[in-house]
Chains A and B, each alone.
Chain A
Amino acid sequence: MNRRPVFLMSVLAFGFAFFYVPILSMIVFSFNNARLATVWGGFSTKWYAKLFANDQVLDAAWLSVRIALTSATVATILGTMAGIALARFRRFRGRTFFSGLVTAPLIMPEVITGISTLIFFILISNLLEAAFGWKTQRGFTTITLAHITFSLTFVTAIIQSRLRDADIAVEEAAMDLGSRPWQVMKDITLPIISPAILSGWLLAFTISLDDVVITSFTTGPGSTTLPILIWSKVKLGVTPDINALATITVCVVGLGVIIAGILLNRAERRRDLDAQMAYRANE
């Protein structure tokens, strides 16, 4: 298909300009010398220096990273379990309900998830205090629990679609040859989905690192994550140091995703090649 309609290509070009001009403009203005964030006043890296001297920003970033690491790991384990359950166990009691339960957080508006989780946490905390006299406070734990719940469904979606594409015959063959279910899982299913598990973890990590709405409902005094800090600052307007912070975030995440993408792509291609070679050798 070599026909290249001019209209489609120009919309494509316009679309990519639309995607990237705002981000590029933000990056350029992070090197702006002037105090006003929107008028150019010469090149400078002083906002970066200012940023790295700001303990508040560093503390918030560290808290965000800790929450993201914890929640992404737990969410990946739970999400992979749910994905395997939905893609490989054809019939179990409550399957339809379970698949609805897994997709619901994906389409639920974040405000509603946030508010219901907050009400739940408040009631639980009241209960704990009334029953055991145990005073609890919202913070790291509540944010992490909410992030796990929210992001595990994304992991499930990725795992499920990978398993749907994968050939179930290999697993069945292993089972026919006398492998026990757990062995099949460990030696065949998990290696097949390992790239999907990695991308699921990455997605869960960035979702957690990025979340504002659900975090703002589940956070407590003294637990300010980076997005919450940025949110409270940008409500007051555009400032050059937030431009610098945004540039760092965008570059780190962007580079990470690009590198992970290239590595995953290469691993996948190598596996396809191996599979082809094995297939030819058997012919």
Chain B
Amino acid sequence: MTEISAANTAPPKPRTARLRRWFHRRGWADLTIATPYVWLTIFFLLPFMIVTAMSFASRTPTSPPFSFGVDGSFLNFENFARLLEDDLYRRAFLISIRNAALATLLCLLIGYPMALGLTRVSRSARNVLLMLVILPFWTSFLLRVYAWMGLMGTNSWFNRLLTSIYNGLVPDDWAIRSIQMMHTNFAVVLVTVYSYLPFMILPLYANLEKLDLTLDEAAMDLGSRPFRVFLDVTLPLSIPGIIAGAMLVFIPACGELIIPGLVGNPSQPMIGRVISDEFASARDWPMASAVSVALLFLMVGPMMLYTHFEAKAQEKKAMEP
């Protein structure tokens, strides 16, 4: 019936008629799925598979600088062996993961009360404040890091303010001229917290906003003190939000390249820089690939933990009446 009406309203030209009928019947759906599917396969999956394969190749002075099966066996595990043996890589992983973990913890400590605070202000104020949380996310990441470079320099107003506060608190002979903030791990962690804090606040807020406040009130009516209510009711219910926020901060912070590059200690190896240095300066594509694959593996661990967590929570929810 639909074919007849379509033919009546707009008599199609013979050549396009078949294509149009095909499109109308089922082709449109296939096309909607296939186009992004094919795109992502070519430009995301394929490059990633190349890198994974490359991590088992050997470095050779050819162009491009790698080949397979140099020492007889097709798969070469030497890159991964070097990853475990060489102190540089071990230190890079340790420092990067430590900094990222510290930044995630601090984001949680600042972001949680902020998200909770956002659920306790009036509706109109909340919309404005949410906008203010999201706004830095839209403005340039690079420039936000740069803004801190201006604050942390040894003769900036911020540094002098902190120095004078410090000098006021300690005995006179401990007094210092300025605080060395730039090019330290402290700077890396601070700027990481600054840059990724919205990623912690937003999922936490989304989670906390949905919580049933009557549970709080019930606990309060039964005589719980506010902090106990928080520990026994709010906190356990917000664990999915905490995990989501922590992942959104931790994973990109691990491979961060801009922040350590601008405010970090140049003599300290970080994974992001090790990968790009191996690739660009050392022209060791297989090694750069091996470090990338190892970094991903280290992150697949926490992700699987998370999916496990989620599945368990869903199961629990389904079991409840």
Contact = CB atoms under 8 A, between A and B. Distances in A.
B132 A112 contact: no
B255 interface: yes
Contacts of A281: none
B204 to A, nearest CB: 12
A116 B50 contact: yes
Interface in A112-144: 112-120, 122-123, 126
Interface stretch (B74-82, B136-144, B235-243, B313-321): B136-144
Given A25-B151, A25-B157, A111-B275, A238 B36 contact: no
B113 A104 contact: no
Contacts of B50: 116, 119-120, 123
Taking residues whose C-beta sits less than 8 angstroms from the other chain, chain A's interface range is: 35 or more
A105 interface: yes
Given A180-B24, A254-B135, 7 more contacts: A16-B129, A22-B150, A23-B144, A110-B255, A180-B2, A230-B143, A230-B146
A204 B257 CA distance: 21
Which of A7, A81, A152, A243 lies at the interface centre, i.e. has the most chain B CB atoms within 10 A of its CB?
Answer: A81
A178 interface: yes
B140 A249 contact: yes
B43 A117 contact: yes
A25 B158 CA distance: 9
Contact of A110 (B24, B149, B257, B261): B257
11 contacts: A5-B117, A15-B111, A15-B114, A15-B197, A94-B37, A109-B252, A111-B275, A115-B275, A227-B142, A230-B142, A246-B147
B117 A257 contact: no
Given A115-B51, A249-B143, A146 B247 contact: no
A33 B247 CA distance: 43
A246 B146 contact: yes
Contact of B120 (A1, A81, A206, A213): A1
B51 A98 contact: no
B182 to A, nearest CB: 9
Interface in A195-253: 203, 206, 209-210, 212-213, 217, 227, 230-231, 234-235, 237-238, 242-243, 246, 249-250, 253
Contacts of B105: none
Contact of A22 (B6, B41, B133, B151): B151
A236 B202 CA distance: 34
B148 interface: yes
B233 interface: no
Interface stretch (B10-18, B27-35, B85-93, B164-172): B27-35
Interface string B144-182: 101111110101111000000000000000000000000
A18 to B, nearest CB: 7
B110 interface: yes
Q: Is the interface of B mostly helix, strand, loop or mixed?
A: helix
Q: Please list the 9 inter-chain residue pairs (A to B) with the smallest Cβ-Cβ separation, ordered nearest first.
A: A109-B255, A120-B47, A8-B117, A82-B36, A22-B147, A116-B47, A11-B113, A12-B117, A149-B43
B139 A249 contact: yes
A234 B149 contact: yes
Nearest to B255: A109
A120 B46 contact: yes
Nearest to A233: B146
B296 interface: yes
Interface stretch (A48-56, A84-92, A162-170, A270-278): A84-92
A76 to B, nearest CB: 11
Contacts of A39: 155
A68 interface: no
Contacts of A104: 44
Given A9-B117, A149-B40, A213 B258 contact: yes
A210 B142 contact: yes
A30 B303 CA distance: 43
A250 B255 contact: no
B187 interface: no
A117 B44 CA distance: 7
Given A11-B117, A261-B131, A81 B36 contact: yes
B132 A210 contact: no
B261 A253 contact: no
A138 to B, nearest CB: 14
Contacts of B23: 182
A91 B44 CA distance: 23
Given A15-B114, A246-B143, A1 B44 contact: no
B100 to A, nearest CB: 10
Contacts of A21: 151
Contact of A12 (B48, B129, B157, B299): B129
Contacts of B251: 107, 109
A263 interface: no
B254 interface: yes
Contacts of B213: 1
